[in-house]
Structure 1
Amino acid sequence: MIVALSGGIGGAKLALGLSHLLPPEELLIVANTGDDFEHLGLAISPDIDTLTYALAGLDNQELGWGRRDETWSFMETLAGIGGETWFRLGDRDLALHVERTRRLRAGESLSTVTTDIARRLGARPRILPMSDDPVRTRIRSDDGWIDFQHWFVRDQTRPPVHAIEFAGAAEARPQPGLLAALRARPRAVVICPSNPFISIEPILAVPGLRAAIAGCEAPVIAVSPIIAGQAVKGPTARMFGQAGIAPSAAAAAARYAGLLTHYVMEPGDDATGIAAQVIHAPTLMRSLEDKVALARAVLAAA
């Protein structure tokens, strides 16, 4: 079993590469749920959905989020009657949120709903939330605390980040299937190239998970989300800068201090100070071939 910790777009790319090299029963993908929120009365799980669509071959590669072949009648109608349209929900995507919300309100766990919907859509590896209990990432900016999606989507990451909290993490319980996989001595734990601050650290904030990963007696292999001091996509590099840290592959590795045995980073990037065995491999994933090649390098490290 390979256990992969993932956020959204960057993590989904590596997860897809791994899925092309491993039988589905040998790959467990743990999704960040700190991005989850309720919008228009619906339970939205952005990272779970990005992973599901990517692994099912349904992802919108042009936008980087949502489903391909999407239509937008719902949003157009909502705008016409004065509704909130800052978080765009396509018609096909909307069906998933409606069904998830219905099942959660009927008492099913997020894990059960996620596993079943992923299977029905054609995603073969198992996808699990980090916890079935709510954990919500919040950002403190100039005007106080705001919900993550308001900062990320509505405000387009413009407000400076002074602090991050994971509300509910202290009370959350790790997803039982994840703990069982870690106790069963997996072949490796892979930390995908997702934003450390807002995609991976919410997972590690769930009580017991960091210790379970550290004690699982398996290689822990992270892939750098930073190439030549820049993030491929998203606010990762800027968040390092706002924390007073020069963005680099080494700075990203330092976020996982005490966990890593191996670190995969772009050839030519400076490995000084990284407390893990460094593996240089191309980490920019533009094509499926790139994703599979990086996954192959990760599995070789394992």
Structure 2
Amino acid sequence: MSELNITLLAGGVGGAKAAEGLTLGPYRNGLNIIGNIGDDQSFHGLWVSPDIDTLTYTLANAIDRDQGWGLKGDSKRVLSQLQTLGCDTWMQLGDLDFATHIYRTVQRQAGVRPTEIARAIARGYQVDVPIWLPTDHTVATKLDTESGWLDFQDYFVGERCAPKVRQVCYHNAHLATATPEALAAIDNAQLIVIAPSNPLLSIGAILAIPGIRSAIEQSRAPVIAISPLIAGQAMKGPAAKLMQELDMRPDCLGIAQFYQGLIDLLVIDESDAHLAPAIEKLGIQTLQTAIVMNEPSDREHKMRTIITMASQQLGIHLSARACA
């Protein structure tokens, strides 16, 4: 295994794919993951943490790969009964998935740190790669839309991203404190990788936590980001639509502009090679390669290729085994 210490910032399905690719390759032992908690929300009296759970289930190979979230083979009998009782059930939670949320809620009510709860759930699923929370405080991604202010899940799942967005905010982020585990993961990293996650809805919530962005900026480790957009289209989710509504360029140049001052290199798809000169004018190097990640073996190959090529370009030494 490689001795390269990598810290991955991840949210959504794109973040889980990148995380899985790294854990299946030679970088597992040196990997730390900082996940998005901005889309956490309460449903049926239970605290649900979708992005952290998606990371956990994916790394446990327990994810429902057809839908990209939830547990494979799960049923929805509880949800069906809740619907019979007159509850809103647009947030699709499986029966086995409910166990995770019940455990998390009980532990939170007992005063256990959310970071420790997330680690305990990961251990329960036999995931040994550290998944750290950026903060133990509650920070909520909210969107100002033509339908009014919406919590993230109401926008993303309830409204299926349909309302036009005027503003994105990370409620209470200014009151939050970064976890020491997340800061240590950044400080100890030899390479920091931003997954191909939605920059506004996933990565933005992590960077909004006081101390996280400054720790990355002050880190001695090079920082690379993988574009979630290919030829102006999101690999999954509403990133392009959202960026366009907020007067941002809905392409990998817009991604570079969002991360300008934070990253050293942006990984873009070969089809976006024509945008490389404009990105490089921002002081950001580009790496052009195929970035679509489908099956787990494909994710491992793509992430190994990205890390190897980026490390060579940035002058990071890799072991011979990591390059093999």
Q: TM-score, normalised by structure 2?
A: 0.90
Kindly provide the CA deviation profile for residues 193-234 of structure 1, in whole angstroms up to 9, marking residues without a partner as x: 000011001111111111100111101010000001100111
Kindly provide the CA deviation profile for residues 160-191 of structure 1, in whole angstroms up to 9, marking residues without a partner as x: 1000110010011111111122223x111100
Of 273, 278, 287, the residue aligned with 2:295 is: 287
2:138 paired with 1:134: yes
Whichever residue aligns with residue 201 of structure 1, its letter is G
Higher helix share: 2
2:215 paired with 1:212: yes
Partner of 2:46: 42
Identity of aligned residues (%): 38
CA distance, structure 2, for counterparts of residue 299 and residue 181 of structure 1: 18
Residues 79, 85 of structure 1: 8 Å contact kept: yes
CA distance, structure 2, for counterparts of residue 298 and residue 123 of structure 1: 24
2:197 paired with 1:194: yes
Q: How does 1:267-282 map to 2 (within 5 A)?
A: 267-269=270-272, 270-274=275-279, 275-282=283-290
2:251 paired with 1:248: yes
CA distance, structure 2, for counterparts of residue 254 and residue 288 of structure 1: 30
RMSD, aligned CA: 1.2
Whichever residue aligns with residue 278 of structure 2, its letter is G
Partner of 1:9: 13
Q: How does 1:55-204 map to 2 (within 5 A)?
A: 55-184=59-188, 186-204=189-207
Query: In the TM superposition, what is the alpha-carbon distance from 1:131 to its structure 2 partner?
Result: 0.6
Whichever residue aligns with residue 205 of structure 1, its letter is A
Residues 14, 291 of structure 1: 8 Å contact kept: yes
Residues 11, 51 of structure 2: 8 Å contact kept: yes
Query: In the TM superposition, what is the alpha-carbon distance from 1:254 to its structure 2 partner?
Result: 1.4
Q: TM-score, normalised by structure 1?
A: 0.97
Whichever residue aligns with residue 103 of structure 1, its letter is Q
Residues 6, 27 of structure 2: 8 Å contact kept: no
Q: What 5-or-longer segments of structure 1 have no aligned partner? A: none
Of 21, 25, 35, the residue aligned with 1:21 is: 25
- Give 3-state SS (helix, strand or coil) of 2:17's partner: helix
Q: What 5-or-longer segments of structure 2 have no aligned partner? A: 312-324
Aligned residue pairs total 301
- Give 3-state SS (helix, strand or coil) of 1:273's partner: helix
Kindly provide the CA deviation profile for residues 4-60 of structure 1, in whole angstroms up to 9, marking residues without a partner as x: 000010110010000012454411110010000111110100000000000000000
